Structure 1
Amino acid sequence: MELLATNLPGQLRMLDVIRRALKSADDVAISVSFLRFSGLQLLVDDLKRFTARGGRVRLLTSTYLGITQPEALRVLATIKGAEVRVHLAKNPLQGFHPKFFVFQGAQTECWVGSSNISKGGLTSNVEANLRHDSEQALEEALSAFEMIWEHPDVWRLSDELTDQYALALLQSATQRMAVSQVLVPEPRVRVQPNSAQAEALVNLARLRELGETRAVVIAAPGVGKTFLAAFDAEAAGAERVLFLSHRLEHLTQAKKTFEQVFGTRRTTGLVYGELKQTQAEFVFSTVQSANALESTAFDYVVVDEFHHAAAPTYRALLSKIKPQFLLGLTATPERQDGHDVLSLCDFNIAYEARLIEAINRSWLVPFHYFGIADETVDYSESIWRSARLNLEQVETALMLETRVAHILEHALEKGFDGARRACVGFCAGRRHAKFMSEKLNERGLCATYLTGENSLEEREETYANLENPEHALEWLFVADLLNEGVDIPGINSLLFLRPTDSATIFIQQLGRGLRLSPDCEVLTVLDFVGHHRNAWLNMEVLRDAAAAPNASTLPEFDLTPPKQCEILLDDVTREILLKVRRFTRRKSDWCEETYRSLRDEKGKPPFPVDLIGRADAPSLGDFRAVYGSWLDCRKTFYDADPWEMALEKDHLGWELLAQCEKNWQQPRVYAYALLWGLCAAPRTPKEGYEEFFERYPRWRAEYAPAESTNAWQTLEKKLGRLLDGKALNAEVFDQIPSSALLEHVELRLQYTLEADFRLRHGGVLRTPAELVVHRAYTRQEIVNHFRQQYDPALHNAGVITFEVGAESHIVMITKLDTSGAKSEFHYVNQFDGPQRFLWQSQNRQTQENRSGRAILDHKEDGASLHLFVQTKSHSSPHYLGKVDVESVEGNAPMNVTFSLRHRLTDELCELWLEGVRK
């Protein structure tokens, strides 16, 4: 049993102490200074179960500094069997700081320390709560608690007390606002890029240096894509900018953003409807209105929500405009309404920061997700049209009085973090949104609804009211709105009130509440989960695949949320999700759905290149495993041209196309460029090779004349009979029309080429200090954290040395299980308890040679030794932090014992040590 709860990574959290104790205790006494929904919502179900089985709980908190939320007190008052008292801070100079957690029962213990009942106090703040279980300590703690419990300034919780406290807080807030309004405003400080924007700006500048004219940035909602566009337009020296969007809200917000960055250096104007401010230097226009612009002389074009850019209206406009640089912005290029958009920027993904990374890096606020069983609705097959929802049927099914009561009960109980509620509910359609608004208003709550039918002015006024602390509006129900783009940082709670039919739409909607806000440290998310085929989609979105198991992991689902986030499921929801998950689609079904979806979006048969950038799509390897080759896939769906249908597996044409679908694991681009050149008839291979680097200017970073490379040797090895000297076998041209050959080869090669470019040249360079202990990293990410781009020719060793500034670093990447390797590469690597790792070197390494001494003498040499361990075959290595040499035995190989500076958690011990416990 641990003695200290600090909430530090890998150590005990106070949340887990309380939850564990509530399962076995009979009598609980808790005293905290502050009580907030961000902590109470994590415990409310545990407290209800505790009192339901007859447990006695006394909870004491205070009004000190006005931090305790009145609404949280109201929820406590509804828990049957809970006794609650409040210390009233009559003297503003008198603080109230006692933190007791006394649990009596089968395991009697007392924790005294620093945690309040808040998200920070229970899970994320660095705290110090010490466990005591001696009889004397328990008696003294209980005696102190009883004395405070009976203090004259402590009152029983009542509706009257809560009302008075809430009124006092409101009056205090009003006074502070009145004072702030008469203060002289501080001089405006020029806005600066945040860390995500700074990283993206480096990559965008590098692409322009390489000659690229188009790129896309994929980043989670709330990371600041519009600000990034403004900063990059400034970096590119843009004098005339066109900002395109299909939503009016996006344009007005974007205009304000660019004005913050450029100040008065550029004139700005809006173009939509009857408004035609076309003479401005920076024009913010809907795509429909932009098609009517008289002048298309813009040197920098931004396409917001780039996933819409394949629509005919966008394509018509972009074909007329020839800017020096075009930047697409999107959070989800793989949206169902996204179409074939990445091809519009030649698959130049300049930067990517998806939702999980953005939360982990504190660019977005963390969430508490509550999966609540939705048993009031019959999710029968009638609500589905093939794989899509029948929204008319869904609306009718969801509009139930009993469901409203169910939703409201949980929304009020789980609450919100912030000065007041600012809640958005996502509905199935206009009727559903109106119904929810009306039903809450009937119950005395202030609610409204918006749809795409509302004017821009109506929408912006409602958004402002929702954020205004003096306005009564707290509940906003929407349909076909807030799926993208609109920035409302004041939102602190979300309700998902309809079945999900798209994980990417769920990401966009979740992003509405994840903007950083000084008044909210956690977003409260209530998802009403029904028993239907898509119930598992949202859970997959919330999974942090690179995180090691920890106290927040749901073990039955092998699901770990992002840093400082929690996923809480009631028992019925767990049963629903376990049942739904058992019927997950087969790989063949996944490939078929993806192929059909891509074909519908593009309006023509897709190719491997169309899988790029789609986080929800199978890999090309998955398609090859199901169909054998992409050609066979096209034949299966009757999309093959007549010449394709004639190709059989023993034909050279089939063999060439199949080879183009394989990743040859080349450390340089030369062989692919030469193959591209061979197919670029009537050019000579040398001319085609040179033209490849004109077609893909970003590959100039690796350019070398073909004759100075080993490209021909690689092709001879990979293509064999497909070559006839220094040309393709003539039979290939007999079987594949020359007019189709280069296109079909290129659309296959691009899949590997784009992945290779991002692997070797597209990494975001970071520092060793940004590595997170126990997190999994790809080899490329490891190298990038030591300020270098990944080079397979240099960085595939097990021990790599880096110089970062004046600091030296030795990185060790090793495997626990080497049984799948050749016998000469079998090493004995294993954990010896939670703070030791036994490592065996390569057979040629000794205690005397240079590489061996570098490891053994790393401290004396002033080098940091970093250990990464691959726990499963084909998995990414987990970072175990800096380690020290404890002992060494033997030579060729050496057997070294490393001491870990970061102790393995209980969860990792169970997973990695096969029974070893703390």
Structure 2
Amino acid sequence: MENIVDSLKESLYKGFIDHSHNKSDVFKPKLLVNNLLQSEDVLSSLLEELNYCQEFFFSVAFITESGLATLKSYLWDLKQRGIKGRILTSTFLQFNKPKVFRELLKMSNVEVRLTDLKGFHSKGYIFRHNTHYSLIVGSSNLTAHALKVNYEWNVKLTSHENGEIIHHFLEQFEDVWNESYMLNPLWIDQYEKTFVEREYLPDLEKVVEIPDEYRANPLKEAIEISPNKMQKAALQNIQMVRENNNNKGLVISATGTGKTYLSAFDVRNYAPKRMLFIVHREQILQKAKSDYQKILGGLSKDFGILSGSSKQSDVRYLFATIQTISKENVLRQFDSKEFDYILIDEVHRAGAESYLRVLNYFEPKFLLGMTATPERTDNFNIYELFDYNIAYEIRLQEALEENMLCPFHYFGVTDFELNGELIDETATLSKLVTEERVNHIIEKVHYYGHSGDSVKGLMFCSGKDEAQRLSVALNEKGLRTVALTGDDSQEERILQVNRLENGQLDYVITVDIFNEGIDIPSVNQVVMLRQTQSAIIFIQQLGRGLRKHGSKDFVTIIDFIGNYRNNYLIPVALSGDKSQNKDNVRRNMKDKSYIKGVSTINFEEIAAKQVFKAINDSKLTSLKILREAYMELKNRIGRIPYLMDFIKQNSIDPEVIVGEHTNYYQFLIKMKEEVPDLSLYEQQVLTFLSLEVLNGKRKHEVLLVELLLNRDEVVNTEYIQQLAANNCYIDEDTLYSIERIFNQEFFTQISRKKYGEIPIITRLDNTYKFNDAIKQSITSNAYFRGLINDLVETAKMKTEKYDSTQPLTLYKKYSRKDACKLLNWHNDESSTMYGYKPKHDTCPIFITYHKDEDIDASVKYGDEFLNPKLIKYFTKSNRTLQSEEVKKIIYADERNFDIHIFVKKDDDEGTDFYYLGTAHPVKDTAEQTVMLDKNDKEIPVVTLELMLEHSIEPKLYHYITNK
């Protein structure tokens, strides 16, 4: 108790008396706002508290389905842990829809009551923890907009259980709770009758929170269709392509972002004499033709369809299937210059013979291709087909930020467990359609629900037999489903899609035939019952529900996660991160701020563990994966890429490439590229720069190499001026460290041999110079110089992720060798550093938080975070309070020793640790105790508490501490 009380006192002092107070601030009062630029939102804090509480109490006037959806996976996990909560709400202004109350009843660990207290308008969230209470109170109701987007003010407070403020809140809650009535199905039925009778909300102006959609004027007249923000930018870019005398352009645009309307707007601007629009499925033609008529206007006879069932051809605007127009006898009906504007939808298919036949025949004045997924696995280069003219590109994350798509709530849920084992890729059909799994599927899709009155769902299975058997099984349970596979005719597909849209079906169950080219805007639930084969297919299937529609406010994505090797592709697909960097993939699992707007990404606890397991087990840097990413980039830009291109095009992290292949030149040889020869020493120099400078963790080395690329020598004063101009910290120790890096005295003998064993840069008489061999190569070998310049430019971009005003940046990852270098140690002592090493007035401490079960007991220290600012730390074994190195840590402040804390979750994280900043020893907690060695013999060890300068950010703290 003393610990929590002291922490509260210190935190309250900082929050209410002196903001510069620098002791424990883990419980300081905090303003919670939604800030897109800083990736902050109220929801994150609410979920953090909810996820770790022992009990919760919500008092909220307004609740929406979307707001409730943001909590569902967390409430499910709490249920599994036996944790319950209470929600107090009302029918004030009849804001809360009847369906919201039905959704609340699904959460069996949540008791809900309704108050008829006049003007009930509270917004408070109380969380009981083992040692304290947390309270979030302010302006945010339980709506997705209030928790993620709207401008809101909320205060987060922490109180001891005996604190007066929390007693006031709890008493208020209990007083109203005891006068309220239990939510039940019969009450909801009665409420629904009165709710349906009301066409609009009364007294709207009295309630600021009412969103715009509730203020809609039913008599509002239709307005002329005009381009949205994205379409306006795209139209300008397409026009610029033409003004640069290019007759082809490619538009890459996420599913549901209005590519058809965009093309129609451009056709309207271009005003062709004749236009040809080509698609790969007949069912898309009518919709495309209808959309064009809305935009272009004019006479109906100007628009026609050329397909298997319609033979119109003599029209101004012709909409054709590729299957029909590619037939030789049909193609020859047209003059090769018949159409001055041709558009190809889903143009990533254009490598097929049918498309190439059409493209090789016609000679339009302008050709526009549109796709959401230009990446190909068949080696056909779509980019080359369009002369590398990417007119516009907008991917999923940007489209959500621009509010162009229907928001989604993604739920990674746990697949069925049979005899203690999760479904995996080897599961037989009999396991996939057992009654238990079918019941499990029904339970999950019911719990996570959908927006709108009735479900309109798509289910994706792994095979045709599974789809058909599952449809039968679900129908026997009372659902209305049909299985559609590639064996079904186009007419049958259209019929069943119409039945789904008209409410005659609940689900269409399919394999891959609806990945693309199907437009069912009313879909409000997408269910994935198959392992993720690729990020492209994942986004295609998720995208089936992202079109906006008046019947839904959001789409629910339910992804059943089993024990699949490819689970690591889920965060890759959702984030759009193609770096192949495991740290990035892990970060995208714990921090989902890359998804903007009211959309959310949620994982049930067991499902999240399966994804992390797949990340740890995966080989993201296999030559096959790197080659595919390399070829994709090369196809996109039409030449051999430089390292800088990988960053500009959001492709592989260059550090991943050189980490596997020592330098980019070696990688290009592995890619079988014909590149100029480099000498062995030139390759060694590239390896040095790739492994020691490219990561950008210290800008100083990058700037010196850049200066020397452009002149024979650089004097020390000029170098210092350049460092100052780039906001870099400057001191003699750092300059000496840089000198030892470039003359290689810092490195071990093994590293020196790898780097050529002679100084790369020498400092003589306060002047820096490349060695003669490098100078000669830079002067005579343009290719070598270009590779070094590329390294420098890439490293400069990498440095932007780090704070150049100090040696180490909070929460970035560093190895033991990085710590030696950046703390200005004279030598790389990483091989003998182990858990910590006091030297040069610094002491880096490296903690692997979750130890391997198999490691020797004598090094299995019980290091533990007591809270986000306090660590209970164990020294090495066989140390006492009298050990000199232990004294250096305990009395670090008196001896001006800087303690730096580095932590990684477990050994699966590799060699790099998160930097958590400096720490101060809490001297009176130092205690000599004992631990057992492998022979169960007692050996001495010292424990003490270390107070971090900065509290660890919550997402990282919970990521590290959760096993």
Specify the TM-score bucket, using the shorter chain as the normaliser.
0.5 to 0.7
Q: Cα distance 1:161–1:457, how it changes in 2: closer, same or farther (>3 A)?
A: farther
Q: By how many angstroms is 1:518 displaced?
A: 5.2
Q: Tell me the amino acid that sits aligned with residue 574 of structure 1.
A: A
Q: By how many angstroms is 1:231 displaced?
A: 1.2
The equivalent residue for 2:146 is: 121
Q: Cα distance 1:11–1:340, how it changes in 2: closer, same or farther (>3 A)?
A: closer
- 1:35–1:117 Cα contact (<8 Å) kept: yes
> Which region of structure 1 is more displaced relative to structure 2, 427-436 or 222-231?
427-436
Distance 2:83 2:565 in 1: 39
The equivalent residue for 1:446 is: 480
The equivalent residue for 2:132 is: 107
Q: Secondary structure at the match of 2:63?
A: coil
- 2:571–2:588 Cα contact (<8 Å) kept: no
- 1:5–1:14 Cα contact (<8 Å) kept: yes
Mind listing any 5+ residue stretches in structure 2 that lack a counterpart? 1-27, 203-216, 580-584, 691-775, 812-913, 919-947, 952-963
Q: Cα distance 1:425–1:546, how it changes in 2: closer, same or farther (>3 A)?
A: closer
Q: By how many angstroms is 1:322 displaced?
A: 0.4
- 2:455–2:525 Cα contact (<8 Å) kept: yes
Q: Cα distance 1:592–1:539, how it changes in 2: closer, same or farther (>3 A)?
A: closer
Q: By how many angstroms is 1:456 displaced?
A: 4.8
- 1:366–1:522 Cα contact (<8 Å) kept: yes
1:409-808 equivalences in 2 (<5 Å): 409-456=443-490, 458-460=492-494, 462-467=496-501, 471=503, 473-517=505-549, 520-543=552-575, 560-564=593-597, 565-585=599-619, 587-590=621-624, 594=628, 608=640, 628=665, 632-633=669-670, 649=677, 720=780
- 2:65–2:103 Cα contact (<8 Å) kept: no
Q: By how many angstroms is 1:721 displaced?
A: 8.2
Q: Cα distance 1:455–1:33, how it changes in 2: closer, same or farther (>3 A)?
A: farther
Distance 1:150 1:162 in 2: 20
Distance 1:270 1:510 in 2: 30
Q: Tell me the amino acid that sits aligned with residue 426 of structure 1.
A: F
- 1:190–1:260 Cα contact (<8 Å) kept: no
Q: Secondary structure at the match of 2:342?
A: strand
Answering whether residue 33 of structure 2 is matched by residue 6 of structure 1, we say yes
- 1:496–1:526 Cα contact (<8 Å) kept: yes
TM-score in terms of structure 1 length: 0.62
The equivalent residue for 2:403 is: 362
The equivalent residue for 1:238 is: 272
Q: By how many angstroms is 1:155 displaced?
A: 2.9
Select the residue among 336, 341, 353 that pairs with 2:394.
353
Q: Secondary structure at the match of 1:249?
A: helix
Q: Secondary structure at the match of 1:535?
A: helix
- 1:75–1:412 Cα contact (<8 Å) kept: no
Distance 1:829 1:632 in 2: 36
- 2:592–2:601 Cα contact (<8 Å) kept: no
Distance 1:380 1:23 in 2: 26
Distance 1:217 1:334 in 2: 13
Q: Cα distance 1:155–1:546, how it changes in 2: closer, same or farther (>3 A)?
A: farther
- 2:629–2:652 Cα contact (<8 Å) kept: no
Select the residue among 372, 387, 393 that pairs with 2:413.
372
- 1:109–1:131 Cα contact (<8 Å) kept: yes
The equivalent residue for 2:377 is: 336
Q: By how many angstroms is 1:361 displaced?
A: 2.8
- 1:72–1:415 Cα contact (<8 Å) kept: no
The equivalent residue for 1:286 is: 321
Select the residue among 81, 89, 111 that pairs with 1:61.
89
The equivalent residue for 2:186 is: 160
Select the residue among 224, 232, 246 that pairs with 2:258.
224
TM-score in terms of structure 2 length: 0.59
Q: Secondary structure at the match of 1:278?
A: coil
Q: Secondary structure at the match of 1:29?
A: strand
- 2:485–2:513 Cα contact (<8 Å) kept: yes
Q: By how many angstroms is 1:312 displaced?
A: 0.3
Q: Tell me the amino acid that sits aligned with residue 271 of structure 1.
A: L
Distance 1:3 1:474 in 2: 45
Deviations 1:280-323 (A, max 9, x none): 11111111211214115011111110110010000011111100
Select the residue among 193, 199, 216 that pairs with 2:227.
193
Q: By how many angstroms is 1:487 displaced?
A: 3.2
- 1:227–1:257 Cα contact (<8 Å) kept: yes
Distance 1:24 1:396 in 2: 38
Percent of paired sites with the same residue: 30
- 1:544–1:560 Cα contact (<8 Å) kept: no
The equivalent residue for 1:85 is: 113
Q: Cα distance 1:467–1:148, how it changes in 2: closer, same or farther (>3 A)?
A: farther
Q: Cα distance 1:485–1:165, how it changes in 2: closer, same or farther (>3 A)?
A: farther
Distance 2:793 2:284 in 1: 38
Q: Cα distance 1:720–1:14, how it changes in 2: closer, same or farther (>3 A)?
A: closer
Mind listing any 5+ residue stretches in structure 1 that lack a counterpart? 177-182, 384-392, 663-715, 724-750, 757-777, 781-795, 799-812, 819-826, 834-909
Aligned-residue RMSD, C-alpha: 5.0
- 1:446–1:472 Cα contact (<8 Å) kept: yes
- 1:423–1:474 Cα contact (<8 Å) kept: yes
Deviations 1:435-463 (A, max 9, x none): 33333332223333433455555544544
- 1:425–1:494 Cα contact (<8 Å) kept: yes
Q: Cα distance 1:362–1:533, how it changes in 2: closer, same or farther (>3 A)?
A: same
Deviations 1:259-280 (A, max 9, x none): 1110116711111113111111
Distance 1:187 1:67 in 2: 26
Select the residue among 50, 58, 66 that pairs with 1:38.
66
Q: By how many angstroms is 1:136 displaced?
A: 5.4
Distance 1:449 1:174 in 2: 40
Q: By how many angstroms is 1:135 displaced?
A: 5.4
Q: Secondary structure at the match of 2:567?
A: coil
Q: By how many angstroms is 1:486 displaced?
A: 3.0
- 1:308–1:338 Cα contact (<8 Å) kept: no
Answering whether residue 322 of structure 2 is matched by residue 322 of structure 1, we say no
Answering whether residue 176 of structure 2 is matched by residue 148 of structure 1, we say yes
Distance 2:629 2:218 in 1: 60
Answering whether residue 236 of structure 2 is matched by residue 212 of structure 1, we say no
The equivalent residue for 2:312 is: 277
- 1:308–1:339 Cα contact (<8 Å) kept: no
Answering whether residue 346 of structure 2 is matched by residue 305 of structure 1, we say yes
Distance 1:142 1:380 in 2: 44
Q: By how many angstroms is 1:224 displaced?
A: 1.3
Distance 1:50 1:184 in 2: 42
Distance 2:494 2:30 in 1: 52
Distance 1:595 1:48 in 2: 38
Q: By how many angstroms is 1:328 displaced?
A: 0.6
Q: Secondary structure at the match of 1:499?
A: coil
Deviations 1:462-516 (A, max 9, x none): 4455455xx3543332333331233333223221111121211111111122223
Q: Tell me the amino acid that sits aligned with residue 197 of structure 1.
A: Q
Q: By how many angstroms is 1:191 displaced?
A: 1.2
Q: Cα distance 1:627–1:586, how it changes in 2: closer, same or farther (>3 A)?
A: farther
- 1:376–1:402 Cα contact (<8 Å) kept: no
